[in-house]
Amino acid sequence: MASKDKKDEDGSTRKKADRLSDKELKAQRDLCVLGPHGELALPSVSIDGYSLELREGDEFVGDNASRTAFRHMLDAWRKLYTDMAGKDPMGSKPTQEIGKQRLDELLERDGPAAAAIRAAQDDYALQLAHVTKRFLKHKTWKGVKRVIVGGGFHQSEVGEQAINAAAKLLAKDKVPVELRTLHHHADDGGLVGWVHLAPTALLQSYDAILAVDIGGTNVRCGIVVTHLHKTPDMSKAEVVRREKWGHASEDPKRDELVGGIVDMLEKLLAYADKHGIRVAPFIGVACPGLICEDGSIAGGTQNLPGNWESMRFHLPRDLCDRLPTIGDGRTQVCLHNDAVVQGLSELPFTQDVKRWAVLTVGTGLGNATYTNAETTKTTSAAK
């Protein structure tokens, strides 16, 4: 495994690195983690802003359209139905423990449980439409014509119906914006977006990259094959292998979470080696928060375990230390905001508009806005 070279750093397994001095090794490692992280100016698109925090009173506007908010709405309707009928229409299990699949099943069955879910959907649609309007009034959202809704919520029938209802409300109010869901599966969007951030030279020399998407509930790691030579716009980029860890249920410490990510990446590298996939020595890491150019995180990580904003913690360097080589190359790690990366997975499908945005519905509500460098009336990917 690649990490074995790290453990045997003072022995014969260092290969080419064993001819370098400690100072040269540190300089080489620093070069691998310098980034630039949180890049905002890309050749085909500029990232105008992300993690916009609008307030209404003491609350953040976006919190009203998160997955957590929907659960609170459903809780309220369950209580109302229980008070009226003397029986909870959805049984004794707490709302946060009822999975998306189960909610979809209850919705399909009809009856009191479905009625409570539909009522919560209506409430959520109103809030999502309201949040979208508020964002559109901000200067960084001026001119946005399409809003992509990502995150895990849209992956369920309950979530998709609620989002579609919000789109209808915006159309009814004559708000000049299109609201639609992510093309990719929710588990893949935050991984696929890295093909638009990785160094072009690496993409041209290898079949795939490694990508990581760190959320407050789950961590996803995947092998992303670019198919660059078949589709230069990378509209066919796909995750061919994915590892997913629901870390929130295990309550790991910060360093345990990072260690778990490395274990997942090593499994993916073993898979790639077995199947002849040439993986670039590059890891793209998406996580919540404000990402500084030096790879530190300035804020917005409250849903992650431990202190990710500490001056003593540097995630890219930590990953490089634990996984120093991939194949014959020194590992390069790049860090960016998770909503930004998920939004970039839509880049090939937004070439018919100038300005667009993303809202990611998860534990919180992530957001980002973009301006395309060039647009065409229609492209095969945008259709």
Q: Where are the domains of the chain?
A: 2-14+22-37+187-344, 50-181
The candidate with the shortest Cα–Cα distance to 187, out of 223, 240, 151, is 151
Confidence of residue 26 (pLDDT cuts 50, 70, 90): low
Helix axes 315-322, 22-33, angle to 10 degrees: 120
Give whole-number Cα distances, 328 to 17, 139, 277, 382, in Å.
Answer: 11, 46, 14, 37
pLDDT grade, residue 184 (50/70/90)? very high
Cβ–Cβ under 8 Å, residues 188 and 239 = yes
Rounded mean pLDDT of 178-187? 95
pLDDT tens-place string over residues 254-264: 999 999 999 99
Q: What is the pLDDT of residues 98-157, one digit of tens each?
A: 999 999 999 999 899 999 999 999 999 999 999 999 999 999 999 999 999 999 899 999
The confidence score (pLDDT) of residue 59 equals 87
Rounded Cα distance between 236 and 231, Å, is 7
CATH of the domain spanning 50-181: 3.30.420
The residue whose two tokens read 């590059």 is: 282
Q: Compute the average pLDDT of residues 184-209.
A: 95
Q: Is the confidence at residue 368, as pLDDT, over 80?
A: yes
Mean pLDDT on 45-51: 96
Mean pLDDT of the chain: 89
SS (H, E, C) the chain: CHHHHHHCCCCHHHHHHHHCCHHHHHHHHHHHHCCCCCCCECCCEEEEEECCCCEECCEEHHHHHCHHHHHHHHHHHHHHHHHHHCCCCCCCCCHHHCCHHHHHHHHHHCCHHHHHHHHHHHHHHHHHHHHHHHHHCCHHHCCCCEEEEECHHHHCHHHHHHHHHHHHHHHHCCCCCEEEECCCCHHHHHHHHHHHCCCHHHHHHCCEEEEEEECCCCEEEEEEECCCCCCCCCCCCEEEEEEEECHHHCCCCHHHHHHHHHHHHHHHHHHHHHCCCCEEEEEEEEECCCECCCCCECCCCCCCCCCCCCCCCCHHHHHHHHCCEECCEECEEEEEEHHHHHHHCCHHHCCCCCEEEEEEECCCEEEEEEEECCCCCCCCCCC
8 A C-beta contact, residue 78 and residue 116: yes
Q: What CATH number does the domain located at 2-14+22-37+187-344 have?
A: 3.30.420.40
| Residue 183 confidence (pLDDT) | 95
Check if 2-14+22-37+187-344 and 50-181 are the same fold: yes
In terms of pLDDT, which residue wins out, 295 or 24?
A: 295
pTM of the model: 0.86
Instruction: Tell me the pairing of strands 279-287 and 332-337.
Output: parallel
Q: Is the pLDDT of residue 65 over 50?
A: yes
